[in-house]
Amino acid sequence: MAESLRAALGEGGRLVGTVLTLPGATAAELLAEPFDVVWIDLEHAALGPLDAQEMILGAQAARAYALVRIPVNAHPLMTVMLDAGADGVVLANVSDPQQAAAATQEVAHPPDGTRGWGPRRLALRRRRSGGTPPQPSVWAQIESAEGVSRAADIAAVAGIDALVVGTADLSFSLGVPLDGRAPELLRAIEEVRVASAAAGVAFGVAGALDRAPRAAYGRASILVHSTDSRICAQAVDDAAAWLRSADPDQESATP
């Protein structure tokens, strides 16, 4: 595991993960275990900052990088989560470079940015070793036709480490709701990939990737699949279906 998420992105290769929406450090640790990275959803999930801090602890205990997804203009919440020890933030629905630039300014302390100093978990967790906290990673999520059209400018913003396409909301914006195979969606994903490559930032795809063709995500270095609640619900449904399909009168087979 690299020292920081930014360093891991720089090493190349592929990072895989999911979105966490279920509260609790124990659940986060269990669900993050097989993944490289998770993002804790403060955009849609019914979670607060304290929930998110506990989930950061759980995910990091599983040796996964923990990001927090927030609305793009929620700068105070972003700094709270970074002080709580998040490895980075995902800016939801970035549609223009000014939004991205304003957020990256809030990530860095002066003189590089405007973030206030807060000696919370992040600043205190390495106090005995004397180590300094790594610089957090900032990902911009592209979820609209406008965001796609300005992807090159967004990718060029200093401090943006990755562009990640949110396939669900983007499909609605393009008029092809939840159609992961729609040509319009595939063209948009490719446009964002090209913009990312030109700017030298990582490229990712997030959504129900098991329903998408390989053309949608095959060249991405970040894959964020589904959510913990959907994955758990599917596992529970499969287990219940299997139990109901068992014949209670069938005798055990003998060797």
Q: Tell me, what CATH number does 220's domain have?
A: 3.20.20.60
Is 172 inside a domain boundary? yes
Token look-up 């800016």 returns 91
Q: Could you tell me if residue 250 is inside a domain?
A: no
Whether 28 maps to a domain, the answer reads yes
Least confident residue range of 78-87, 106-115, 233-242: 106-115
DSSP three-state, residue 62: coil
Number of domains the chain is built from? 1
Confidence (pLDDT) at 114:
80
What pLDDT does residue 251 have?
Answer: 55
The first and second tokens of residue 136, run together, are: 């957090």
Rounded CA separation 66/145 (Å): 28
Percent pLDDT > 90 in the chain is: 82
Beta bridge partners of 17: 37, 224
CA atoms within 13 A on the CB side of 109: 11
d(CA 28, CA 112): 33
Domain span at 146: 5-118+132-236
With respect to residue 252, please indicate whether it lies within any of the assigned structural domains: no
Structure tokens at 53: 């801090």
Q: pLDDT tens digits, residue range 160-174?
A: 999 999 999 999 999
Mean pLDDT of the chain: 92
Q: Residue 243 domain-assigned?
A: no
Is residue 43 in a domain?
yes
More confident residue, 3 or 176: 176
Q: Is the pLDDT of residue 118 over 80?
A: no
Please tell me the predicted confidence (pLDDT) of residue 247: 74
Whether 92 is covered by a domain: the verdict is yes
Report the pLDDT value the prediction gives residue 250, as an integer from 0 to 100: 63
The reported pLDDT for the residue numbered 122 is 60
**Residue 253: inside a domain, yes or no?**
no
pTM for the predicted model, two decimal places: 0.91
Judge whether 199 and 156 are in contact, CB under 8 Å.
Answer: yes
How many C-beta neighbours within 10 Å does residue 108 have? 16
Which has the minimum average pLDDT: 53-67, 122-136, 184-198, 229-243?
122-136
